[in-house]
Structure 1
Amino acid sequence: MSDQAFAGQAQAPRVGAWVTLDAPVATEQIARAGFDYVCVDGQHGLLGYEGMLNALIAVTAGGSMPFARVSENSAAEIGRVLDAGARGVIVPLIDTAEEARAAAEAARYPTSAGRRSYGPMRLGPHFGATPSDTDAGVTVLAMIETRGGLEQLDAILDVEGVDGVYVGPYDLSLALGAAMPFEEVILPELDATLGRIAVAAHERGKIAGVHCADGTQAAVRAAQGFTFITAATDIASLRADVGAQLALARGLRSAPQVRAY
């Protein structure tokens, strides 16, 4: 994998952060922390297009690789976040190879057999000298988080232009039958399923990505074979730190437990 695109597999896992808040200065500081990538969340994040644009500029300013998760498999939305500066796009709720192919084509120009419209309004490192050069620096990850996606995993990974998959374990655990994310009864099946996804991606030389609640969980997934791992989310890190500081100030042994994301 080059610094221009996260295509294929790295010698060591890429570790990233997740941004959900419309706070460009905070996003820039997260990017300066040394993460390999920072992904701006356009699906569940609390920001609109202007917020995503500002966040992507902040990630670039902070020296990290800017990614974006779009809210849906929309050619218009995929093109917009790439125009705004994303170097990679994560597409949710992919159930079939046909849907994965549509996402891959939306992220690339006709010179690379894609359908992306050319409009380099914000020139920068995310645009190459030619459309084909730009396409070479784009990474497309299909999210695996449904029963359909699991059943079509191999076909999705075999789609040309799909650089890998990104697992949403919260939704995936629900798809496997849990009443709530990470219900204890489902954990063995979830872990086995995650392992199968990592192996399938590795066999094809593609990215195996996964979303984690924290660094401890991220280390477990790295050992499992994942190569693109989100280890921190802005809002969860904020909750955890302010809770810990409040506990220290009040002389408590530990901070109140809050749900991570």
Structure 2
Amino acid sequence: MMEKSNVDAPRAVRTRWEVLALLIIIGASVAFGYQIRRRMLLANYIQMLRSDYDVVSSEGISKLSALCPMAAPSLSAIAQNKSETPRLRKSALEALHMSGDGECTGIVNNLALSPGDEVLQIAALEVFAKSEDPRNHAAVRNVIMRSDNDSIRMKAIRLYGRYPLEHIVPDFIKVLEDPNIMVALEARDVLEQVTNLDFGHFHDAMQPAVLREARADFIRRAGAWWAKCRKERGLPELPGPEKKQ
């Protein structure tokens, strides 16, 4: 009886190792199959994204957003491909942004600053405008302060007017000092709309010395109004971003 137990022991050990190896193989096969399935879904959803039918394309956006961050490289590549249609590039940005994933939304924020690609910058702003997430103000602010395209910056200024006063006013007071007078005027117009006040006027037809004084006076008036408003409403003093160099 003892001899039989001694003979069976190595066989039992081998059996346990064989079971373990089999479980590892099964697990790896399942994981591999899962990855293959997700890649097939990714390809199918990208085809949906490319559809000319709005309903199908919208469904593709929703499905791809759920696959983020796995879908992020493919969506980012589509968004940056200038040979793709503006509609498709915007749809790729929407899918990234809709995911809510930090990595994916960060890609959209960075692409909004793509130098020399006005189509992509406009698409990113339209995605920010479509979203109700108030945190988008930081991404729009970056476009205002850092974009290399002043026309895009002015579009971003108009969009920024929808965000809370505690962000708009201190940021725009800094934008009023922008070297590009048209950008400064855009900020002034939005400030007057959101505050319903007339701080004074300056325009590019003025002589340089007069223009500087008018702009400085506007900034002083806006700053005084904001200090009073902040005190009355108990709002925090938020530091504005760095001015565009």
The reply to whether TM is greater than 0.5 is: no
TM (norm. structure 1) is 0.24
Q: Which has the larger radius of gyration?
A: 2
Q: Which has the higher helix share?
A: 2
Answer 1 or 2: higher relative contact order, Cα 8 Å, separation at least 6: 1
TM (norm. structure 2) is 0.26
Q: Which has the higher strand share?
A: 1
